[in-house]
Structure 1
Amino acid sequence: MSRLFLGLDLPDEVDFDLSLMVGGIRGARWQDPEQLHLTLHFLGELGGGEARGLIAALGELEAPPFELQLGGAGVFPPRGQPRVAWIGVTRGLEPLELLHQRCARIIDACGIEREHRKWAPHVTVARMGHEASSHETHQWVRNHALYTSASFRVEHVRLYSSIRSRQGPKYRTEAVFALSSAGLGFT
């Protein structure tokens, strides 16, 4: 069984920008540039048959390519002890939400369980341990609140597997699905 999720890869220049934000929070585990992505759907553990069925179904995904821009900073949860520091989305939210919805329909049609909590598109840049300072975390958010990335074109969705290791999760691309202009209609 593989631990899978659907997501968007980031261009190298955005990975580099985000890598410059590392630091300033004791007890934070910062994401390496190769770990940075925007999750569309976390799927959890799937067997080989389920994964093959999902890959075949996602081959029929129709959603247009679009421009995306990251920006702003925040933490989850928004109240209490922060567990995750993130960078949000400032441009391209409507087509991103369309892509999220269309992927959800395909996942549901395959009978695969997915998270149903409210989706907040973001890129996780750090995970906080119990020893992480809430004050330092909120200072980091203030320092990066005005960040905006270069705009970039989203042309693919990736199915990733997550492999646990002592150094943190390693992500491997299992399949890539091209976005197509045939899916231009918003539903």
Structure 2
Amino acid sequence: MSGTIRTFLAFDIEDQTILRRIMQAQKMLVSTGADLKLVNPQNIHLTIRFLGEIPLTMIDQIYEEMKKLVFSPFQIELEGIGAFPKPAYPRVVWAGIRNGVKELKNVFEQLEPRLRGLGFQPDNKGFSPHLTIARVRSGRNKAKLAELINDLMDYDFGTVNSGHLKLIKSDLTPRGPIYTNVKEVSGNNVQ
């Protein structure tokens, strides 16, 4: 097996009610006239760690480390819309996490030393759990967009059950990324 694939580790958001709420929020964002590239709701996920290009030969090694993680299935409460680097200068518009951050951070903190052991560089950006829902392509109607983001700081997306960490392959295409699940581990009900 030779070659590489672009990958990341994430929890999928598959709850249709949550995805409908995300689409409603995206429609509100579009209504500002801002120049946005919306994330396809079927591609919405909560990234734990971007891995980048990896050799195909590493898939099984990463999977073995994933299987050593200790976490129980948990709930993630999604609330609020924000932006990186900040609402006044948005580049990425995201849905926030109200509850479940501790559990997500636990998975991240278990993964980091395991990934370093496989030769990955440390993630120096820090862990900031969020769901990217749109990317800002230009400054068009930036003030209107920033105002709406501030108005939606308490937007309730709902709660999703999460218990399946996935190694996901990302194929970049002109129409947007195509994600394929490569490996998956389930929460192991450890209290």
Verify same fold: TM over 0.5. Answer: yes
The residue number in structure 2 matching 1:82 is 90
1:3-42 pair list within 5 angstroms: 3-10=6-13, 11-22=15-26, 23-25=30-32, 26-42=34-50
Which residue type is aligned with residue 15 of structure 1? L
Separation (CA, whole Å) in 1 of partners of 2:87 and 2:79: 20
Cα 1:80–1:150 change in 2 (3 A) is closer
1:34-113 pair list within 5 angstroms: 34-78=42-86, 81-113=89-121
Deviations 1:93-146 (A, max 9, x none): 211211111122321222223532122110000001124432122123123211
Which residue type is aligned with residue 95 of structure 2? I
Which of 61-70 and 38-47 deviates more?
61-70
Within the candidate set 143, 155, 164, 2:172 is matched to 164
Separation (CA, whole Å) in 1 of partners of 2:136 and 2:87: 14
Report if the CA contact (8 A) 2:88-2:143 is conserved.
Answer: no
Report if the CA contact (8 A) 1:75-1:82 is conserved.
Answer: yes
Cα 1:31–1:79 change in 2 (3 A) is closer
Bigger strand share? 2
> Is the partner of 1:137 in helix, strand or coil?
helix
Separation (CA, whole Å) in 2 of partners of 1:37 and 1:114: 22
Q: Where do 4+ consecutive residues of structure 1 move more than 3 Å?
A: none
> Is the partner of 2:9 in helix, strand or coil?
strand
Report if the CA contact (8 A) 2:83-2:94 is conserved.
Answer: yes
Separation (CA, whole Å) in 1 of partners of 2:80 and 2:88: 20
The number of residue pairs the alignment matches comes to 183
Cα RMSD over matched residues? 1.7
Separation (CA, whole Å) in 1 of partners of 2:23 and 2:87: 26
Which of 82-91 and 108-117 deviates more?
108-117
Which of 18-27 and 165-174 deviates more?
18-27
Cα 1:79–1:72 change in 2 (3 A) is closer
TM-score (norm 1): 0.90
Separation (CA, whole Å) in 2 of partners of 1:79 and 1:127: 12
Structure 1 residue ranges without an equivalent (≥5): none
The residue number in structure 1 matching 2:145 is 137
Deviations 1:78-102 (A, max 9, x none): 2763210001100122112111111
Deviation at 1:173, TM superposition (A): 1.0
Deviation at 1:60, TM superposition (A): 2.0
